[in-house]
Structure 1
Amino acid sequence: MTEYRDPAYACAYLAMQDVIPQRDVGERLLLDVGCGDGRLLALAHTRFPGAEGVLLDHSAAMLDAARARTWPAPVDYVAHDLSQPLPPLGTFDAIISGFAIHYLSDLRKRELYTELRGLLNPGGLVLNLEHVASVDAHEHTRFLDLLGGKEDPSNQLAPAWDQVAWLRESGFARADVVWKWLELALIVGWTD
């Protein structure tokens, strides 16, 4: 699905993730569980140190990086490719994803949103800090220039507002883009 299965590629991303422009602004809005190397769960633990979590990623290198962290509460690790239906995971108050869903086809994004909705407790929410399609080619080029000009061939970007509609179609009572900067957006779906 992506180059992140290659340990060298995953490590290169982890080494540069702190310099993605405006990422920190979007992350300050996130409140609960994370994925990848555990970055988002670590942020959540600064506010909710007792929050238990499940870290799900298809990259062994990412999960190894997450295992290397010290966690203040129990954390489970699940190796899983999001292009496939989710395995049984339990239910959650919050599900957070950071820059992972944009590698999926639009059809799979829609299926995944329905699966995520089914995992949420009443009053739950999904927060997706995501790489989304730009409004035009000029803005896409501008965004790429800020990141060093490299296009990721695995990207399957969808407009943020399309994803809001897909969340609503998936059974979320409300959904919105609560923050956006160029091709980065925080998309939230609330169960009620």
Structure 2
Amino acid sequence: MLEKRRCVIKRTFANDATVKAIAHNLNQPLPDNGKFDAVVSSAIHHLTGDRKHSLYTEIFQILEPGGIFCNLEHVSSSTPALHEYFLKAIGRTLEQDDPSNKLLDVETQLHWLREIGFTDVDCYWKWLELALIIGLKPN
């Protein structure tokens, strides 16, 4: 599935010289590729809590002042019943749940981003276990 996503990204931005798609294992520290105006992800939910926190710090460090971090995150539900409800809503069962997911609640992640130094941190959109978490690096 990850390889399929990489192909879609490369195909989508193939003719855009301002975009460079780089494959990277997020369990490892980010490579030194300079500074960025924006960092966008939808894969952080596969990392442990400690790695999530350190990755958020690394992202803050590579953002230009005024830069934006957008993370479409698969987050934990507050109860097992709500988790089952989410799975049912997306047509899955507990037996089909992805064991690679390492879900964490929204509030903890928002707290971490604020603690790291991001501003205007919030959950800008949420549906069950899907949340768009955004923070800005101050100017």
Q: Report if TM-score (shorter chain) is over 0.5.
A: yes
Structure with the larger RCO, 1 or 2 (CA within 8 Å, 6+ apart): 2
- The equivalent of 2:12 in structure 1 is 69
- The equivalent of 1:135 in structure 2 is 78
- The equivalent of 2:107 in structure 1 is 161
Please tell me whether residue 92 in structure 1 is matched to residue 36 in structure 2: yes
Q: Which of 27, 37, 40 is the aligned partner of 1:83?
A: 27
Q: Which of 106, 119, 128 is the aligned partner of 1:173?
A: 119
- The equivalent of 1:25 in structure 2 is none
Shift, 1:72, TM fit? 4.9
% same residue = 45
Question: Which whole-Å CA distance do the structure 1 matches of 2:71 and 2:134 have between them?
Answer: 6
CA 1:81–1:70 in 2, change beyond 3 Å: closer, same or farther? closer
Q: Which of 45, 48, 53 is the aligned partner of 1:102?
A: 45
Question: Which whole-Å CA distance do the structure 2 matches of 1:80 and 1:71 have between them?
Answer: 18
- Structure 2 length-normalised TM: 0.88
Question: Which whole-Å CA distance do the structure 2 matches of 1:66 and 1:179 have between them?
Answer: 23
Q: Contact conserved, 1:60 with 1:79, CA < 8 A, in 2?
A: no
Instruction: For structure 2, list consecutive stretches of 5 or more residues without a partner in the other structure.
Output: none
Question: Which whole-Å CA distance do the structure 2 matches of 1:164 and 1:180 have between them?
Answer: 13
Shift, 1:139, TM fit? 0.9
Question: Which whole-Å CA distance do the structure 1 matches of 2:125 and 2:25 have between them?
Answer: 27
Question: Which whole-Å CA distance do the structure 1 matches of 2:116 and 2:97 have between them?
Answer: 30
In the TM superposition, structure 1's runs of 4+ consecutive aligned residues that sit over 4 Å from their partners are none
- The equivalent of 1:53 in structure 2 is none
Instruction: For structure 1, list consecutive stretches of 5 or more residues without a partner in the other structure.
Output: 1-9, 11-58
Shift, 1:64, TM fit? 2.7
Question: Which whole-Å CA distance do the structure 2 matches of 1:160 and 1:128 have between them?
Answer: 11
Question: Which whole-Å CA distance do the structure 1 matches of 2:64 and 2:9 have between them?
Answer: 25
Shift, 1:77, TM fit? 2.5
Shift, 1:138, TM fit? 1.0
Shift, 1:97, TM fit? 1.0
Question: Which whole-Å CA distance do the structure 2 matches of 1:92 and 1:70 have between them?
Answer: 17
Q: Supply the RMSD in Å over aligned alpha carbons.
A: 1.5
Shift, 1:188, TM fit? 0.8
